[in-house]
Amino acid sequence: GCSDEASVTVEQNITHADAVITGNDILTFDLTSVTLDASSSTADGDFTYLWSNGATTASINVNEAGTYTVTITGENGCSDEASVTVEKNDTTADAVITGNEILNCNTTSITLDASTSTADGNFTYLWSDGSTGATLTVTAPGIYSVTVTGENGCSDEASVTVEQNITPAEAAITGNEILTCELTSITLNAGSSTADGTASYLWNDGSTEATLTVTAPGIYSVTVTGENGCSDEASVTVEQNITHAD
């Protein structure tokens, strides 16, 4: 009739693991890598990490877009998984300048315009003179450039060479003589004038030819204008001697 009894207490540890990943950001031309951090995860005891790329540290550096997963395993064997998708914004910038013209005596200023450029988001402008607007007013010849930078840090540069043609005009009148009883008309000639390209003529009587026939004394002037808008004026005084013989 002798008996004995023994007992044990079976305990249970099913503390749950909770995997968390912080630090996710969009990769750009400025931000070329991000650090994914799972150290704020919780699990039983000294838990372990196992990333989808094989890493076993609490954090990993990522420089490529994709989905990254970490598995947290506690000392009790309970595990949890978390994943994040790292995105990449590599939208390129394309700088464009329009509005370039040759400066001359008529066109003394031009507006260079970069507003047709493209880049990520609300992009910025930076001209070679330090200006930051979409347009730039130019009054002198030279090389002008603009750098367009998108929100993702991607930038592009465009440049134009502004030229200037201010070749001066030089008006000249030949053929002036004194009108007399025998010489009743003369031809004033501005054809030896010089100007840019094909010159135009405007006499003070409204004539537009290179020559002007004159039958009366007086002051005659001509304005010579080149294709670049530069002009010059010349004038002569035509005299008359019709003193009668007696």
Burial (CB < 10 A; 0-12, 13-18, 19+), residue 190, is buried
* Ordered per-residue pLDDT tens for the chain, 246 residues: 899 999 988 777 778 999 999 999 999 988 999 999 999 999 999 999 999 999 999 999 999 999 999 999 999 999 999 999 999 999 999 999 999 999 999 999 999 999 999 999 999 999 999 999 999 999 999 999 999 999 999 999 999 999 999 999 999 999 999 999 999 999 999 999 999 999 999 999 999 999 999 999 999 999 999 999 999 999 999 999 988 877
92 phi and psi, to 5 degrees?
-85, 160
Q: Are 59 and 22 in contact, with CB atoms under 8 Å apart?
A: no
Which residues pair with residue 174 across a beta bridge?
189
pTM for this model (two decimals): 0.76
Burial (CB < 10 A; 0-12, 13-18, 19+), residue 215, is exposed
